[in-house]
């Protein structure tokens, strides 16, 4: 009979025949790792899971606070915008009133200009008629001139008296 020689002389091959020993060694390594992690967390007093939860809650609180601040600022901007709109409407109303007043003043100015023009024409007509009366007076006798000169002041006096009576 032939003897079977081992294919390799490596240490893994030696453990290959004892699976229980390999499983026991792996179990011991896992238990030692878990124990080390547990002791480390207990000693430092912090657990990454609780730190993450705390950090998440802080982020949520900050986000909520920022959201509330944005809402407040938005409300403030809306109020400011509404005030600006109200002020703009008031200014527009005032502008419209000023335009109406200006238009009325321009109309009055035109009427007054026309009246001044009419009065100027009337005064000019009176001047011309007065000039024509004076031109025709030199041909009249000197006695009538003195009468008319004396009569004029009396006429002016009586006119002044009638004006004073009308005012009083």
Distance CA 127, CA 132 (A): 8
- Rounded-to-integer distance, Cα 126 and Cα 120, Å: 10
Asked, for residue 4, whether it belongs to a domain, the answer is no
In a domain, 155, yes or no: no
In a domain, 72, yes or no: yes
Q: Among all chains, which residue has been given the structure tokens 């080390």? A: 36
pLDDT at 7 (0 to 100) = 55
Q: Is residue 50 part of a domain?
A: yes
The span from the CA of 159 to the CA of 153, in Å, is 10
pLDDT tens, per residue, the chain with 168 residues: 455 555 555 555 555 668 888 899 999 999 999 999 888 877 777 666 777 888 899 999 999 999 999 999 999 999 999 999 999 999 999 999 999 999 999 999 999 999 999 999 999 999 999 888 888 876 655 555 555 555 455 555 555 555 556 555
**Residue 17, pLDDT score:** 63
Q: Decide if 13 is inside a domain.
A: no
For residue 98, being part of any structural domain is answered with yes
What is the count of structural domains for the chain?
1
3-class DSSP string for 89-141:
HHHHHHHHHHHHHHHHHHHHHHHHHHHHHHHHHHHHHHHHHHHHHHHHHHHCC
The reply to whether 38 falls in a domain is yes
Largest CA distance in the chain: 192
55: containing domain: 20-104
Is residue 21 within 8 Å of residue 15, measured between CB atoms?
Answer: yes
Do residues 13 and 6 touch, judged by C-beta distance below 8 A?
A: yes
Residue 96 placed within a domain: yes
b (16+ CB within 10 A) / e for 27-40: eeeeeeeeeeeeee
């Amino acid at each position: 009979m032939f003897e079977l020689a081992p294919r390799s002389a490596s240490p893994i091959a030696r453990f290959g025949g004892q699976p229980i020993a390999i499983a026991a060694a792996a179990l011991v390594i896992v238990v030692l790792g878990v124990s080390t992690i547990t002791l480390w967390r207990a000693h430092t007093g912090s657990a990454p899971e609780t730190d993450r939860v705390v950090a998440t809650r802080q982020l949520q609180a900050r986000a909520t606070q920022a959201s509330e601040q944005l809402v407040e600022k938005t409300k403030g901007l809306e109020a400011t915008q509404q005030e600006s709109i109200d002020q703009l409407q008031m200014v527009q109303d005032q502008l419209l009133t000023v335009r109406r007043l200006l238009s009325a003043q321009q109309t009055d100015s035109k009427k007054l200009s026309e009246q001044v023009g009419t009065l100027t024409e009337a005064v000019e007509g009176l001047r011309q008629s007065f000039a024509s009366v004076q031109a025709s007076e030199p041909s009249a006798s000197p006695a009538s001139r003195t009468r008319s000169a004396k009569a004029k002041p009396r006429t002016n006096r009586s006119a002044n008296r009638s004006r004073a009576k009308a005012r009083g």
